[in-house]
Structure 1
C-alpha cells in the first residue's frame, strides 16, 4: 500500500485549519452562553414579579381565628371590623393563577394641586415593576373643557395637568379615566364633590387599591401582595390603634368594585354633609382591617413620627427599611411640595440629630422625584 506523505506546508495548513475551527467553535459557544444569559435577564426584567406577602400580616393558622384587636380610632367604641390576613401559601406560590389585569392601583385627583403627587406614586409602581394596572381618575370636566374664547377666563392650570397626565400615560402606562362628581354642584352652591367612592364603578377590575398622597413609594411588593392576596371583602382599610404614629385608617383603601355597591354608597353618603372620603368606611357594617405594622415592618410609616424621636437613640436604617410607603403627614409643615421659607423649615426640623438627617433626606428625595417625574419645582408657600 502506498503511503501518503504530506509536505511541511500541507501539515501547517491542516494544523492552522484545525485551530481556526476549534477557536471558532469556542467563540460560537461563548457567544451562545452570553446570549442565553442576556435573554434570561431580559425575560426576568419584563416578567411580572409575584409579590411576597407583607411581613406584618400573619397567616390565619398562626393566629387565633378571631384576633383580639383594639378598637380602631375611626370607629371609636364600636370596634367593628376584623383583621385581614394574606394567604401565605397562595402568595408564596409563583405559579398562583393571579389575573393581574383585573387588579389596579388607583389614584384620584380632585384638583390640579394633587396631580403630580398622584403621578409620582404611579410612576414608582411602574419603575418597581408592579404587575397590576395603574389608573388615574380625574374630573370629567378636565377632558371636556375647551380653550377659552375671547373675553372668557380659562383655567390657568388645566394645560399643565393635561400635559402631566398625557406624559404619565405615555411613560408609565397609566390609564386615564375621567369620572363624574359623586355629588354635582347645585346652582349657587358648593363645587362638585369628587370621591374615591367613584372607584366602585370600575367594574372591569376585581379589586383596586389607593394610598393617600403625598408620599414616597419605597417597595411596591407589600402593596401588590395586599391587592392580590388579601381575603375578599367589599371594603378594607388600615387598622390604626397606635396614637402618635401619624398613620391613619384613611391612608390606604382596598375596594372591590361593584355597580350595586356604587349606587348604594352614593345614596348613603348623600345625607352626610359636609362630605369627605373618611366617611366611606362608616357605610360598611363590617369593614376589613389591614394589620399595617409590626415591630420590624410596616406598610406605611409617617414622616411625622420623626419629631417624636426626642433625645432617645434613633435608628434611621430601621425606619427606612421594611416599609412600603413613607407618608408625608407632617404636623409642622404644609407638605413636601411647598418651598417653605428657610427660617420656618429650620424651626420645623426634628430635634434628634439622626432623625433630622432622615427627615431632611426624605424631603430632598421628594423634591428631586417631583422634578424627575413632573418637571416641576416646589411651589411657593402662601400661608
Structure 2
C-alpha cells in the first residue's frame, strides 16, 4: 500500500483537472470547426432555382416546362429566391445545358464581357459562361505579334478562362466575309451553340446587379426560337436581353441573310423574328433598366432599385459610355436633383470604373476620344477663320 503525501495528491488532482478542461476545450473547438466548415459548404455550394411561388401540395411534382411565363415569374418586383432544391425529390438542377454567352467583335469589347463574367462569378451564378471571339485572334500571322490591342485581348481571354471559368469559343465571320473586319461578326453565331438548350446574352456595356432572376429565366423560360426583353428597338443599338434557343438551321439561315445583305444585327433579328413573343410581361420593368432611365426617373426609390434591378445597361443619349472619363463639371450638370437618385446614378458609373480597373487592369479613356478631339479642333479653326473674315 502506497501512501501519498498531501503535495502529491494536490499535484494529481490539479493534473487531472488540467487534462479534463484541456479535453473539453479541444472538444468545443472541434465542434465549432465542424459547424464553420458546414456553414462554408452551404455558402459556396452552387445554387439551384425553384419557382418563386410554392405550388399546392400534390402527390406528384408538377411539370413546370409548359407553364406560361406569367405564372412562372409572377411579379418580378418581389425577390426571386434561389434555394438548394428544385423538386420534392431534392434532385440537383442540371445547369450544363444552359449558358450565358457574350460575343465580342472588337478588342474594345473584351473588357465589357469580362466584367459581366466577373459579376456572375461574384454573385455565385452556377450557369456556364461562354465568350465568343474572332478565330483569327488566335490564328493570326506573325505580324500580329506587335499588335498591342491583340495582346491585351489575349491576356484578358486567358484571365477569363483561368479566373472566371469562362469557356472560350472562337467563331468565324458570317459567310465567306473578311474575318479581320469586326462588322462581319454577328450575334447569329450564338444560334450555332447547339449543345445548349438555352443561351442568354446581355447588351454591352452593363452591370449584373442580381443574377438570381436571370438564372431563373434561363432555368424556366423556353422560347420557341428567341425572346427579347425589352422588345427589340431598331432605332438604337441592340439593347435587349436576348434569350436564344440554339438551332443549326436558324444559324445557317441568319448567316446567309447577313452575308448576302450585310445588314446589322438589330435589323437582322427584328426582321427574322418579327413575331417573337416578349421574354417577360410588359409591366415587369424592374428586371432591367438603363442608365438614362435611372437618371431621368420622375419618382425614385433607392431601396427598391437595389432590391429589384437585376441588370443595368449603360445606355444614355446624353452621357458618354462608362469607359470614358467625363469632366466632373459635365457630370454635375446631368446629375439628378434627388439625392438618393443622384448618388446611385454616380455610384453605378463609379462601380463600372472600379470593375474596369480591378477586372481588366484598365483605366478610363479620355473624353472626347482622339478622333472627336481632332474634329472639334478643325471645327474651332474654321470658326475662328470665319470670325476673322
- Structure-2 change in CA distance of 1:174 and 1:15 (3 Å): same
Normalised by the size of structure 1, how large is the TM-score? 0.78
Mapping 1:150-299, distance limit 5 Å: 155-185=147-177, 192-231=183-222, 233-240=224-231, 250-270=239-259, 272-284=261-273, 287-291=276-280, 298-299=286-287
Q: Structure 1 pair 223/278, CA: closer, same or farther in 2 (3 Å)? A: farther
From the superposition, tell whether residues 351 and 379 of structure 1 become closer, same or farther in structure 2 (CA, over 3 Å): same
CA distance 1:307–1:250, shift in 2 (3 Å): closer
- Deviation of 1:371 after TM superposition, in Å, equals 0.6
Structure 1 pair 345/204, CA: closer, same or farther in 2 (3 Å)? Answer: same
Secondary structure of 1:350 counterpart: coil
Kept in 1, the 8 Å contact 2:288–2:310? The answer is yes
Aligned partners of 2:289 and 2:309 also within 8 Å: yes
Aligned residues: 348
Contact 1:196 1:277 in 2 (8 A): no
- 1:378 aligns to 2:364 (yes or no): yes
Match of 1:25 among 19, 23, 26: 23
SS of aligned partner of 1:290: coil
Using the TM superposition, name which of 25-34 and 219-228 deviates more.
Answer: 25-34
TM-score (norm 2): 0.77
The SS at the match of 1:86 is: helix
How far the C-alpha of 1:227 sits from its partner, in A, is 1.0
| Counterparts of residues 271-350 of structure 1 (less than 5 Å) | 272-284=261-273, 287-291=276-280, 298-309=286-297, 314-350=300-336
CA distance in 2, matches of 1:368, 1:379: 13
1:337, distance to aligned residue in structure 2 (A): 0.6
Partner residue in 1 for 2:132 = 137
Using the TM superposition, give the Cα deviation of residue 5 of structure 1 relative to its aligned residue in structure 2, in angstroms: 6.0
Distance in 1 of aligned mates of 2:248 and 2:255: 11
Find out whether 1:363 has 2:355 as its counterpart. Answer: no
Question: How far off its partner does 1:13 sit?
Answer: 4.1
After the TM superposition, which of the residue ranges 95-104 and 367-376 deviates more from structure 2?
95-104
CA contact (8 A) 1:293 1:299 kept: no
Can you list the C-alpha shifts for 1:196-242, whole angstroms capped at 9, x where unaligned? 2111222232221111111111111111111112235322221449x
Q: Deviations over 1:162-214 (max 9, x none)?
A: 11111121211112111111244369x97651112111222232221111111
Counterparts in 2 of 1:54 and 1:197: CA distance versus 1, 3 Å? farther
Query: Given that residues 298 and 322 in structure 1 are in contact (C-alpha distance below 8 angstroms), is that contact kept between their aligned partners in structure 2?
Result: yes
Determine which of 96, 101, 116 is the counterpart of 2:111. Answer: 116
Q: Is 1:84–1:289's contact at 8 Å kept on the other side of the alignment?
A: no
Give the RMSD, CA atoms, in angstroms.
3.6
Q: Which runs of 5+ in 2 are unaligned?
A: 54-61, 75-79, 373-389
Q: Deviations over 1:45-70 (max 9, x none)?
A: 33101245579xxxxx9xxx99xxxx
Runs (5+) with no aligned partner, structure 1:
56-60, 67-81
Partner of 2:41: 43
Per-residue deviation at 1:249? 8.2
Contact 1:120 1:373 in 2 (8 A): yes
C-alpha contact (below 8 Å) 1:102/1:206 kept by paired residues: yes
Given that 2:48 and 2:92 are in contact with CA atoms closer than 8 Å, whether structure 1 keeps it comes out as: no
**Cα–Cα, structure 1 residues 146 and 125, in superposed 2: closer, same or farther, change >3 Å?**
same
Partner of 1:79: none
